């Protein structure tokens, strides 16, 4: 397997099509995956893994659900792309708007990065302001304006994190620590009227899972409103996962714009951005903010998205009065898993923090609670690397970095979660 990967390095930069896949922070050669079904992945050598990465989030119902595959087979026979308006994409927009009341109008795109990039341009075009505010450690795809060093403390003026991002552009991006109301008030007082949008993941998951403190998101909403700053919730990860209507439903906070991706496409390249009608109407051709895409609303991806939404609605529907929702049972199963994991950590007195919400979690190898980027960065990444490889050996595939979320799907049954727990407890004993 390693030999194939080494060959890959000759034709693909670092052998991967997205950096974290290279195992850079955990070491060793990446496992080349060949097949997925339900909660499992199989590598090129035929070894089976319980998958807690789930393609970085999209696979809420596990790999290759039989019913979805059947739907897609039929769809493929009807053509793969038209480049025209379609009835299906209109249906999908309606379904999204039903689950997300804050999304009055929505455009479909092909990746989370594209959704965010478009939302940022729209916010700038609509407000006539140039600056963008984000949080330290927030990740929103590889959009130039948002690849800003997420250093410690309040960074008033951004510094490019990646070569190739002009400093002039980076200077327009401001960054504040998550969960810090004081820092937010300070930057709004100083720069508020120049900021087009504040973009954040309502539950940051790209520094590992970090939960908002009580009242933080409400304060964010209050301040953005006061200064005429558009509030963009990047729900590419949280959308459809923490609730059908995402974190905005979970916390009852209403953003102006929302970015969706991952679960929406169910493993296909489909994402979306949407929100207030007056803001969305600024898009071309009606408005003067340009945004377009050859494959936007692709019929195969759209069919997959319609299937995902119908499943999500089904799981949250109560069929009979005495029957719990499938989603309630799923979340209870996941909570049980967390409980068992947490009690193992307590029993062994391990310096490990379990941050979780619904079906996403991170185990931080950290002595202290993790509430923002600074505390997340204090994690022991060497220990995580040992833990990661010990899990891999035991047939459990985690996201290969300390600063990522792990995802559990509906296909992860009690039995699978029990096996995963066994692998994790065994791996924890190797990590210390």
The residues that bridge with 234 in the sheet, in sequence order, are 259
Provide the minimum distance between the beta carbon of 243 and ligand PMP in the complex, in angstroms, as a whole number: 16
Integer Cα distance of 109 and 318 in angstroms = 32
> How many CA atoms lie within 13 Å of 231's alpha carbon, on the beta-carbon side?
22
For residue 398 the two structure tokens come to 């985690």
The residues that bridge with 105 in the sheet, in sequence order, are 275
DSSP state of 108: E
Integer Cα distance of 195 and 191 in angstroms = 7
Residue 75 or 234: the one with the smaller Cβ distance to ligand PMP is: 234
Provide the minimum distance between the beta carbon of 269 and ligand PMP in the complex, in angstroms, as a whole number: 8
User: Which one of the listed residues 180, 262, 377, 397 is annotated catalytic?
Assistant: 262
The residues that bridge with 108 in the sheet, in sequence order, are 272
Residue 257 or 427: the one with the smaller Cβ distance to ligand PMP is: 257
Integer Cα distance of 140 and 146 in angstroms = 7
Provide the minimum distance between the beta carbon of 242 and ligand PMP in the complex, in angstroms, as a whole number: 13
User: Which one of the listed residues 51, 234, 256, 372 is annotated catalytic?
Assistant: 234
Residue 102 or 380: the one with the smaller Cβ distance to ligand PMP is: 102
Query: Can 216 be counted among the known catalytic residues?
Result: no
Measured in degrees and rounded to the nearest 5, phi and psi for residue 273 equal: -135, 145
User: Which one of the listed residues 40, 100, 139, 216 is annotated catalytic?
Assistant: 139
Q: In sequence order, what DSSP letters do the residues of 280-345 get, joined into one string?
A: HTTBTTTSSB----TTTT-HHHHHHHHHHHHHHHHHHS-SSTTS--HHHHHHHHHHHHHHHHHHHH
Integer Cα distance of 32 and 2 in angstroms = 8
User: Which element (helix H / strand E) includes 355?
Assistant: strand 353-357
Provide the minimum distance between the beta carbon of 19 and ligand PMP in the complex, in angstroms, as a whole number: 11
Residue 155 or 238: the one with the smaller Cβ distance to ligand PMP is: 238
Query: Can 278 be counted among the known catalytic residues?
Result: no
Q: Which residues bind ligand PMP (CB under 6 A)?
A: 56, 111-113, 116, 139-141, 201, 206, 234, 236-237, 261, 271
Tell me how far apart the 2 most distant CA atoms of the chain are, in Å.
61
* Residue nearest ligand PMP, Cβ-based: 112
Q: Which of 101, 85, 127, 113 is nearest to 18 (CA)?
A: 113
CB proximity list for 289: less than 8 A, separation 6 or greater? 121, 122, 125, 126, 282, 283
Angle, nearest 10°, between helix axes 87-99 and 299-316?
30
Provide the minimum distance between the beta carbon of 178 and ligand PMP in the complex, in angstroms, as a whole number: 13
Residue 116 or 210: the one with the smaller Cβ distance to ligand PMP is: 116
Query: Can 262 be counted among the known catalytic residues?
Result: yes
Residue 199 or 423: the one with the smaller Cβ distance to ligand PMP is: 199
Residue 111 or 380: the one with the smaller Cβ distance to ligand PMP is: 111
Provide the minimum distance between the beta carbon of 399 and ligand PMP in the complex, in angstroms, as a whole number: 10
Provide the minimum distance between the beta carbon of 422 and ligand PMP in the complex, in angstroms, as a whole number: 29
Residues taking part in catalysis: 139, 234, 262
């Amino acid at each position: 397997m390693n030999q194939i990967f080494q060959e890959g390095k000759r034709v693909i930069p670092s052998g991967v099509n997205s950096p974290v896949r290279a195992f850079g922070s955990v070491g060793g050669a990446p496992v080349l995956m060949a097949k997925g079904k339900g909660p499992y992945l199989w590598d090129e050598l035929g070894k089976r893994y319980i998958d807690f990465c789930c393609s970085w989030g999209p696979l809420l119902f596990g790999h290759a659900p039989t019913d979805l595959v059947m739907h897609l087979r039929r769809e493929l026979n009807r053509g793969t792309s038209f480049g025209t308006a379609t009835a299906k994409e209109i249906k999908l927009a309606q379904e999204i708007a039903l689950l997300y009341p804050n999304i009055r109008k929505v455009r479909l795109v092909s990746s989370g990065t594209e959704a965010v990039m478009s939302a940022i341009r729209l916010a700038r075009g609509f407000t006539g302001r140039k600056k963008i505010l984000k949080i330290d450690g927030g990740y929103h795809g590889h959009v130039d304006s948002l690849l800003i060093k997420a250093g410690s403390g309040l960074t008033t003026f951004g510094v490019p994190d990646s070569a190739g991002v002009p400093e002039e552009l980076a200077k327009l991006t401001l960054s504040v620590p998550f969960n810090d109301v004081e820092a937010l008030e300070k930057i709004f007082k100083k720069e508020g009227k120049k900021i087009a949008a504040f973009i954040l993941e309502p539950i940051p998951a790209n520094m590992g899972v970090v939960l908002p403190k009580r009242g933080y998101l409400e304060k964010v909403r209050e301040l953005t409103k006061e200064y005429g700053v558009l509030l963009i919730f990047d729900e590419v990860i949280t959308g459809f996962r923490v609730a059908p209507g995402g974190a905005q439903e979970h916390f009852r906070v209403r953003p102006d714009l929302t970015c969706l991706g991952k679960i929406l496409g169910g493993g296909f390249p489909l994402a979306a951005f949407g929100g207030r009608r007056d803001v969305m109407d600024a898009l071309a051709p009606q408005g003067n903010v340009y945004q377009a895409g050859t494959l936007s609303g692709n019929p195969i991806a759209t069919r997959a998205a319609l299937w995902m939404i119908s499943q999500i609605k089904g799981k949250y529907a109560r069929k009979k009065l005495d029957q719990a929702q499938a989603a309630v049972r799923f979340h209870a199963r996941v909570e049980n898993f967390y409980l068992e994991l947490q009690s193992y950590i307590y029993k062994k007195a391990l310096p490990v923090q379990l941050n979780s919400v619904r079906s996403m979690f991170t185990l931080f190898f950290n002595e202290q609670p993790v509430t923002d980027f600074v505390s997340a960065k204090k994690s022991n990444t060497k220990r995580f690397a040992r833990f990661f490889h010990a899990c891999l050996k035991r047939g459990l595939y985690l996201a290969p970095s300390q600063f990522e979320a792990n995802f559990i799907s509906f296909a992860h049954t009690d039995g699978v979660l029990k096996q995963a727990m066994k692998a994790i407890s065994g791996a924890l004993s190797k990590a210390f």
